[in-house]
Amino acid sequence: MTNSIAKFENVIIIGGGPAGLAAALYTARAGLKPLMFAGSPPGGQLMLTSEVENYPGFESILGPELIQKYRTHVQKFGVRILDQNITKVLFNKSPFTLDTVENSYQAKAVIIATGAKALWLGLENETRLRGKGVSACATCDGFFFKNKVVAVVGGGDTAMEEALTLTKFASKVHLIHRRDQFRASKIMQERVLKNPKIEVLYNTVITDVSGENRVEGVKLRSIKIDSGQARMTKSSHDDSRILKVDGLFLAIGHKPDTDIFLNHLELDSKGYIVTSGRLALELAKLKIKNEKFKITIENTKIEEIKNKFDFNYNSSTNISGVFAAGDCVDFVYKQAGIASGMGIAAALEVEKYLETYESRPKNA
């Protein structure tokens, strides 16, 4: 329940991960006095990991420590951080309205940096062993598995990418998939199947992960997916077995945290926020008409929505004055450094946008 309309802000940032924090830093140093809703719990995906070794400037730092340093840094420049969630937005006229459970806020510009969540299997010991061998990011954590044996779960392009990335480090990669064939593109499947380090286990599910302080193995069971009925049936005999591995990588997808923007902003079919930068790339691919380029937004949708976007800004959503950055937009790289960079770009664009705010139309 909202009970009051609070102050009129220049810019409100939704999200307190690397993208939101970087946007906060730049907007604060530009004198825009940003208000940041860091979410509850705050900090984003890096709070779920241990060592981060690929964030430029830090040889090795714990994920939560990096976020804490970032928060201290932005607070030094006066950023007001509220560890609360925005529960509702109204973007049909400017200033925009954003609600928390208790209050209502208004802002001339908004930067959305709500990130994404990696999907986990929900195994009994999975959470306990996260950062101790259980991961959802081969680019981030593959390096820690030099000459080790790992398992990857999934059957789409991401799983193929993760398995291939891991072959650069691990001595062996077991790719575990519950169906009898992959969903991934043919070319990715071919690369995986040709790689001597990858062994595929079809019709197999992981029922738990084991290990005291680190992953030591995964418990497997054979299954048969009855695709005609889209039902899962157990194999006739219980063949539960342990596969010894040092790491388990989940590659079963990500879900962008964008539910509150549904019907308020253009989202793609997976829920990622469409920005003008991404749309421009899709339009260019359509124009070049080369089948090698994968189009990620349906052709008809691209044509339908393109006039809603302001292509003077890369990070603009279809609502002028609402910008987006980080993993809620980036369905490709999903890295903290990239999220930070996108947050910086959005902040610089907000600065430009606000220079001409007074002369702009206020209805979307």
Ligand X SMILES: Cc1cc2nc3c(=O)[nH]c(=O)nc-3n(C[C@H](O)[C@H](O)[C@H](O)COP(=O)(O)OP(=O)(O)OC[C@H]3O[C@@H](n4cnc5c(N)ncnc54)[C@H](O)[C@@H]3O)c2cc1C
Cβ burial of 26 (10 Å; 0-12, 13-18, 19+) is: buried
Q: Of the two residues 48 and 220, which places its CB atom closer to ligand X in the complex?
A: 48
Is there a catalytic annotation at residue 328?
no
Shortest distance, position 39 Cβ to ligand X, whole Å: 2
Q: Of the two residues 155 and 326, which places its CB atom closer to ligand X in the complex?
A: 326
Residues 6+ apart with CB under 8 A from 27: 10, 11, 13, 34, 111, 347, 350, 351
Shortest distance, position 44 Cβ to ligand X, whole Å: 2
Shortest distance, position 194 Cβ to ligand X, whole Å: 28
Report the C-alpha dihedral over residues 15, 16, 20, 24, rounded to 10 degrees.
Answer: 120
Shortest distance, position 65 Cβ to ligand X, whole Å: 12
Q: Of the two residues 247 and 326, which places its CB atom closer to ligand X in the complex?
A: 326
Q: Of the two residues 56 and 228, which places its CB atom closer to ligand X in the complex?
A: 56
Catalytic residue among 141, 246, 257, 268: 141
Q: Of the two residues 28 and 46, which places its CB atom closer to ligand X in the complex?
A: 46
Is there a catalytic annotation at residue 137?
yes
Shortest distance, position 259 Cβ to ligand X, whole Å: 8
Q: Which residues bind ligand X (CB under 6 A)?
A: 14-20, 37-39, 42-46, 48-49, 52, 54-55, 85-86, 113-116, 118, 135-137, 140, 257, 260, 326-327, 334-337, 339
Rounded to whole angstroms, the Cα distance separating 321 from 95 reads 9
Q: Of the two residues 246 and 283, which places its CB atom closer to ligand X in the complex?
A: 246
Is there a catalytic annotation at residue 141?
yes
Q: Are strands 198-201 and 322-324 parallel, antiparallel or unpaired?
A: unpaired
Residues 6+ apart with CB under 8 A from 187: none
Q: Please provide the distance, in angstroms rounded to a whole number, between the alpha carbons at the two ends of the chain.
A: 26
Catalytic residue among 137, 246, 257, 330: 137
Catalytic residue among 140, 246, 268, 327: 140
Shortest distance, position 256 Cβ to ligand X, whole Å: 9
Catalytic residue ranges: 137, 140-141
